[in-house]
Structure 1
Amino acid sequence: MKTSFALSSTVAAALLLAAGLACAEPSVQGNNTKPAPAKAATAKSTAKKAPAKPAGPPPLAEASPEQLAAAEQAYMGHYDCEFKQSVDIQPNAKHPGYIDVSFLKQVFTMKPVLSSTGALRLEDVTGRTLMVQIANKSMLLDVNAGRRLVDECIHPTQRAAIEAARSASAVPVSSLGITPAGH
């Protein structure tokens, strides 16, 4: 047992000595003025790159009649969302048939598209986000990350539809499907 302990401490001491030498080597090499090749390549590649300019929205095509009709169906104005957040939707001032969606400090230019299910899709012209508007709520999605940015967004028109559906379901209906008189 003593032999294995002695051997273990000898191995540990050798490893510490090797680590110490490895740490000491760069200071010996530090006297050389020639930089390491990997660092030189990195410095050259960053020197050649120009600063990236923020990409603006792509040029927008003229809106089709279907797009113009879809834009008319979008609920414009303020939406109250979950976690005390909000979204604001307004027609794009420069391009008829396009919509600007404001969330936090960002504004997304969207192209409205009616889906076969009746939902209205507002598709970001840069492909980053998507807003889906259905009868009882809207949600803003980050397409690239595959997650919701904000959910449970409700426009006053959607809120009115929700309340109308609640009051309609509160009316008792007989098993024959007849609504009692007085309701």
Structure 2
Amino acid sequence: MTFRFSHLAAPLICAALVAPALAQTPAKPAQPAAAKPAAKPAAKPAAKRPVAKKAVPPPPAPVEAPLPEASAEQLAAAEQTYFGSYACEFDQTLSIAMNPKTAGYVDVDFKKQVYVMKPVLSSTGALRLEDVKGRALMIQIANKSMLMDVKAGQRMVDECLHERQRDARLAMQANPPASSLGIDPARAAAVAAQTAASAAEAAAAAATAADTAARAASAAANAASAASPR
């Protein structure tokens, strides 16, 4: 028997044959989407290192002008100064020392402040120590010393006693002097005059020695010039 298929039945027969085969083929599982890599955290900016500041050198200390050369009278007055420590009122202290740079001047140290002073012997016999910068004044008499603030016009400290003044005070208590200051002006003036005369003589001797040395050097130079071959 011969079967004849129309062109319409062919597609239906093919579909019927392929469908069972597709049903037996296992379906592939759906693969999950690939996970995206986690985003890296943003890098923190590097901390800036502190810039070291250049050391600024301190300003140079002001250069003080040299003190004038002391006269013979000033040198004589400086010799009358009581150098050393003083015990003052209200448990205060001060000290006086020779100025290390210029002869005839003294340094008064009070409350960590040093005053460079010029000694001047007054007609009464009292010794005045005058601050070269005009800030202070110290008065030395036989039985005490006193430091004053010149600009303020008041005492900085009083009843300052050097050991020599302490001894003088005890002697005055035993034998009260005629002068209220305990100073013998005539004796003080005589001592100052004698010291000034000695200083003047020493200065004259030094000048003579310098002149003699200059003459000898000149003679030696002339002799050397005459002896050298021309």
Match of 1:152 among 150, 153, 159: 159
Query: For 2:174, which of 163, 167, 170 is the aligned residue?
Result: 167
TM-score by length of 2: 0.49
Mapped partners of 1:53, 1:119: distance in 2: 40
- The partner residue of 1:107 within 101, 106, 114 is 114
2:88 is the alignment partner of 1:81:
yes
Structure 1: gaps spanning 5 or more residues: 1-51, 170-183
Match for residue 149 of structure 2 among 139, 142, 149: 142
Q: How does 1:1-183 map to 2 (within 5 A)?
A: 58-169=65-176
Q: Deviations over 1:53-88 (max 9, x none)?
A: 986654310000000000000000000000100110
Q: Measure the CA separation in 1 of the matches of 2:154 and 2:70.
A: 28
Aligned counterparts of 1:87 and 1:160: Cα–Cα separation in 2: 18
Cα drift, residue 167 of structure 1:
2.1
In the alignment, the residues of structure 2 paired with residue 56 and residue 147 of structure 1 have an alpha-carbon distance, to the nearest angstrom, of 30
Letter in 2 for 1:144: K
Taking a change above 3 Å as real, the CA distance of residues 56 and 111 of structure 1, as seen in their structure-2 partners, is farther
State the alpha-carbon separation in 2 of the partners of residues 168 and 66 from structure 1.
31
Q: Structure 1 runs of 4+ off > 3 angstroms?
A: 52-58
CA distance in 1, matches of 2:61, 2:158: 28
Q: Aligned residues: percent identity?
A: 62
* Cα separation, 1, equivalents of 2:104 and 2:61: 25
Q: 1:167 to 1:89 in 2, by over 3 A?
A: same
Counterpart AA for 2:166: R
2:137 alignment partner AA: L
Instruction: Give the aligned length.
Output: 118
**What TM-score comes out, normalization by structure 1 length?**
0.61
- Deviation of the 1:135 alpha carbon: 1.0
8 Å contact kept, 1:58–1:125: no
User: Which structure 2 segments of 5+ residues have no match?
Assistant: 1-58, 177-230
Shift of 1:117: 1.1
CA RMSD of aligned residues (A): 1.8
Q: How many Å separate the matches in 1 of 2:140 and 2:154?
A: 16
Deviation at 1:113, TM superposition (A): 0.2
Q: Closer, same or farther in 2 for the Cα pair 1:125/1:86, shift >3 Å?
A: same
Whole-angstrom distance in 2 between the partners of 1:156 and 1:137 = 10
In 2, Cα distance between the equivalents of 1:130 and 1:58?
21
Q: For 1:136 and 1:115, locate their aligned partners in 2 and report how far apart those are by CA, in whole Å.
A: 16
Cα distance change, pair 56–108 in 1 and its aligned pair in 2 (3 A) = farther
